[in-house]
Amino acid sequence: MTSTVTLEKNNNIAVIAINNPPVNALSQSVRQGIVEALTAAENDADIAAVVLACEGRTFIAGADISEFGKPPLEPHLPDVLQRLQQSSKPVIAALQGTVLGGGFETALSCHFRVALQGTKVGLPEVNLGLIPGSGGTQLLPRVVGVETALQMITSCKQEKVEKLVDTDAIDQIVDDNLLHAAIDFAKTVVSEQRAAVAVPERSIAADSFVADIFDQYRKTAAKRARGQTAPQLAIDSVENAVKLPFDEALAKEREMFLSCRASSQSRAMRHAFFAERQVAKLEGIDKSVQPLDINEVAIIGAGTMGQGIAMCFASAGLQVRLLELSEDNLQTGLASIYTRYQQNVKRGRMSEQQLTDCMDRIQGTCEYDDLAGVDLVVEAAFENLQVKQQIFSTLDKVCKPEALLATNTSYLDIDQIATATSRPEKVLGMHFFSPANIMKLLEVVRADKTSDETLVTAMQLGRKIRKISVAVGVCYGFVGNRMYACYGREANMLLLEGASPEQIDKAMQAWGMAMGPLAVNDMSGIDIAYKARRENPDLPDDPCYFRAADLMVESGRLGQKTSAGFYQYDEDGKKHADASVLEVFTAEAKRLGVEQREISEQEIQDRLVFALINEGARILNEGIAARAGDIDAIWLNGYGFPRFRGGPMCYAQELGLKNVVSRIEQFREQLGDRYWQPAERLVTLAETDGTLV
């Protein structure tokens, strides 16, 4: 045995127990321990069956992430699972918690499975740019059917065992005493002499699925996971389970898995996985700093953003005070929140009782004095420095001294906002992204005088409301919007230079972005960024800077809300190209002396993406973001950056920093050095063969 695996006898039943906290990951010692314990059980004539169980709250939850990117150590997981499948004695898996990836493949390699009520199982490898590589695509369709296997593998969705109880994936569900129940089940298997048929020996009936199911899933995956190779390979591998003998299909699955593991897409998606976990670690803060208790939160402003923020806190079980100065606006906001919750009920995301509970937690008010007892205020008012300073001055007077005061500003100087209070150490930014109740990202902005305690409290609260919270520093636009301004700047420049809105948007979608920048601008309202630029103290003295967007606003074309922006919109919201905007841009280019020309898709993509990379490197140099991975987490979760590229910083590293600097220098020669000067960090790292991520 090993330090993580033990073997005990319960009469004629052997119990192999894994104890590798916190999630019983399949480390080398666990794999080795399973093989040794199984061998010992098989060699013991007194043992009739084996139970494979785990200490703690979960069965094996997947691979050991500390081994990611390192040479695999023997015994390899496929060999361990083959030993389980070929065991001379029945093996019963005792499942609890979250049984994922290699953990689920381990369970499927046992002959029987007993599960605790509420246990979840899944094969989430596609989220890492991989396919199940130890038999998952071959074992799962044999026990749940082809369609369910395809759905689970391509969606990465975890399923409760209750949903699978009518399949061969789960033999028994119990509500308590899992280990005792699994041992009793093993005794029944022995006493009844049940045939212990390994999953690989089971066949898939040709009439158990529709003939074109694989093509259906390929089309769906092509839309939902545009540009990703792993979902398509996973579908191919499940199809092999139907078409080929098990051993041959298994060998092909392994080939595909290894190919995925060596790919740039998987490297990027694994980087994203780790980056999103690393953001929670705050550099330079002593671990002894403890967060404050936050039980009641106030939101200033019942507009769309305020509504979404209120829903975030109410859904997490916190009491919410929603403040609007107008009773009509308050009631409109509360009604809108109710409607948004109702939509979740209709979609099966919450129950009627949960809706009622959430609405009960939200209390509306038009009086600042009603906020006297709250622990935190999040201001979501009009994006104007003077307005926000006035609000914070009022909050400072009415809120208890220990209350934290946060602003949801997207751009403004939080240091300046904090000067309106007598508690600058308790002031910070909590920048939600719209729609706030859906978007995963939260930028937690540390101002100059924000205390460690305040920052730690906000970061923990972000996790409580299920956000990916990233700590950033103060500058205009912080990290995400500061970079987005560079991205949008190049899109606007390209419009003057002769590219059309649809050409730019199609190029960026083809590259992998969820939406093109101009369609996004129309959706959010072109006037929003227009007004924000007026608040920028460092606005470039450049008549071409966002001139295309300014022209749209000045002509009343604000986007979807006016049925016209960079595109024209039907009553049903469908967008169409509008030749008239091209005429406007052509005339303005002539006035400004900008030469129009044919622009390639490659140039569009490079200019927008390399502008992001260059600004991200500057942000790192200034210490606005602590890590390149923090920037990537922001762009992956707030701006629709393609996950299979890992984020702007990861993508730069994948391209090679020397290549990145060279391309930026090409743009400097072509377009001038106002915006195209390589960031110092990029140049230094390129010269020294250093790494960004």
The pLDDT tens digits of the residues spanning 86-100 come to 999 999 999 999 999
Q: What pLDDT is attached to residue 406?
A: 98
Identify whether the C-beta of residue 402 lies closer than 8 Å to the C-beta of residue 325: no
Q: What is the pLDDT of residues 316-342, one digit of tens each?
A: 999 999 999 999 999 999 999 999 999
Instruction: List beta partners, residue 379.
Output: 300, 407
Residue 69 has pLDDT above 80, yes or no: no
Q: What is the average per-residue pLDDT within 307-318?
A: 98
How open is the CA angle 481-486-487, to the nearest 5 degrees? 90
Residue 404 has pLDDT above 80, yes or no: yes
Q: What is the average per-residue pLDDT within 492-517?
A: 97
Residue 41 has pLDDT above 80, yes or no: yes
Report the relative pairing of strands 319-323 and 362-365 from DSSP bridges.
Answer: parallel
Distance CA 49, CA 168 (A): 19
Q: What pLDDT is attached to residue 67?
A: 84
Q: What pLDDT is attached to residue 70?
A: 82
Q: What pLDDT is attached to residue 639?
A: 96
Token digits of residue 90 = 């029945």
DSSP for 46-103, please give it: T--EEEEEESTT-S--SB-GGGTTS---SSPHHHHHHHHHT-SS-EEEEE-SEEETHH
For 558, half-sphere exposure in the C-beta direction (CA atoms, 13 angstrom radius) is 10
Q: What are phi and psi of 491, to 5 degrees?
A: -60, -45
- The DSSP call for residue 365 is E
Which sequence positions are flagged as catalytic?
105, 125
Distance CA 164, CA 144 (A): 7
Distance CA 414, CA 427 (A): 8
Cβ neighbours around 223 below 10 Å, total? 7
Q: What pLDDT is attached to residue 53?
A: 98
Confidence of residue 675 (pLDDT cuts 50, 70, 90): very high
Residue 64 has pLDDT above 90, yes or no: no
Confidence of residue 71 (pLDDT cuts 50, 70, 90): confident
Distance CA 441, CA 311 (A): 15
Q: What is the average per-residue pLDDT within 481-500?
A: 98
Q: What pLDDT is attached to residue 23?
A: 96
Confidence of residue 495 (pLDDT cuts 50, 70, 90): very high
Q: What is the pLDDT of residues 459-477, one digit of tens each?
A: 999 999 999 999 999 999 9
Identify whether the C-beta of residue 633 lies closer than 8 Å to the C-beta of residue 480: no
Identify whether the C-beta of residue 517 lies closer than 8 Å to the C-beta of residue 609: no
Q: What is the pLDDT of the chain when averaged over all its residues?
A: 96
Residue 1 has pLDDT above 80, yes or no: no
Residue 140 has pLDDT above 90, yes or no: yes
Q: What is the pLDDT of residues 583-634, one digit of tens each?
A: 999 999 999 999 999 999 999 999 999 999 999 999 999 999 999 999 999 9
Q: What pLDDT is attached to residue 141?
A: 98
Q: What pLDDT is attached to residue 509?
A: 96
**Residue 325 CB-density burial (10 A; 0-12 exposed, 13-18 middle, 19+ buried):** middle
Distance CA 499, CA 598 (A): 7
Confidence of residue 66 (pLDDT cuts 50, 70, 90): confident
Of the chain, the percentage scoring pLDDT greater than 70 comes to 100
Residue 219 has pLDDT above 80, yes or no: yes
Q: Where are the alpha helices (DSSP H) in 539-656?
A: 547-554, 579-592, 601-622, 628-638, 648-655
Token digits of residue 559 = 């986007």
Identify whether the C-beta of residue 113 lies closer than 8 Å to the C-beta of residue 170: yes
Domains of the chain: 5-262 (3.90.226.10), 296-475 (3.40.50.720), 481-623+656-688 (1.10.1040.50)
Q: What are phi and psi of 92, to 5 degrees?
A: -115, 125
Identify whether the C-beta of residue 553 lies closer than 8 Å to the C-beta of residue 526: yes
Distance CA 184, CA 186 (A): 5
Q: What pLDDT is attached to residue 537?
A: 87
The verdict on whether omega for the bond into residue 71 sits within 30 degrees of 0, i.e. cis, is: no
Distance CA 372, CA 266 (A): 50
Beta strands in 251-349 (DSSP E): 296-300, 319-323
Q: What is the average per-residue pLDDT within 630-640?
A: 97
Confidence of residue 298 (pLDDT cuts 50, 70, 90): very high
Cβ neighbours around 451 below 10 Å, total? 17
What's the length of the chain? 693
Of the chain, the percentage scoring pLDDT greater than 90 comes to 96
- The closest of 31, 13, 193 to 109, measured between CA atoms, is 31
The verdict on whether omega for the bond into residue 75 sits within 30 degrees of 0, i.e. cis, is: yes
Q: What is the average per-residue pLDDT within 206-225?
A: 94
Confidence of residue 670 (pLDDT cuts 50, 70, 90): very high
Residue 214 has pLDDT above 90, yes or no: yes
Q: What is the pLDDT of residues 251-285, one digit of tens each?
A: 999 999 999 999 999 999 999 999 999 999 998 99
